[in-house]
A = this chain, B = another copy of it.
């Protein structure tokens, strides 16, 4: 399967995940960047972006990073996601996610996602994620 373009992945994201407000910013051979626009619905007590929002951004970043590499395979599913929360995200800045693939095998892919409050160089969270890739029909 050929690699999709940025526009193709963006269309896929909008049609398959209409409930998600994550947007795809860029793809390259080394990294895939996504953005979560942060509003009050993403915050938790204490005025910070909630953990489940961060996990959701990472999951989408990994999914798009994988599809950018292997082509649009809608049936790939997350099998494991491990997140470390490192710093308190800013309540008034978007979350940016950068996915880097560690391995893309025939049946499993592993990647890491670093999450940032926009403008900071130190990550707010770090995620390692495994996806199972369905066998070709």
Hey, which bits of chain A sit against chain B, CB under 8 A? 16-17, 19, 41, 44-46, 51-53, 55-56, 59, 74-75, 77-87, 102-103, 107-108, 110, 112, 122-123, 126, 128, 130, 132
Q: Are B86 and A77 in contact (CB under 8 A)?
A: no
Residues of chain B with a CB closer than 8 A to A44's CB: 17
Residues of chain B contacted by A86 (CB below 8 angstroms) = 102-103, 110
Determine the residue in chain B with the shortest Cβ distance to A48: B77
Minimal beta-carbon separation of A47 from chain B (angstroms): 13
Closest 9 CB pairs of A and B: A52-B56, A82-B82, A86-B103, A55-B55, A84-B110, A16-B45, A80-B84, A102-B126, A51-B78
Q: A17-B45, A112-B112 are in contact. List 14 more A-B contacts (CB 8 A).
A: A52-B53, A55-B55, A55-B56, A79-B108, A80-B83, A80-B84, A80-B85, A81-B83, A84-B102, A86-B102, A102-B126, A103-B123, A107-B107, A107-B132
Docked Cα-Cα span, A66 to B25, in Å, equals 34
> How far apart sit A45 and B19, CA to CA, in the bound complex (Å)?
10
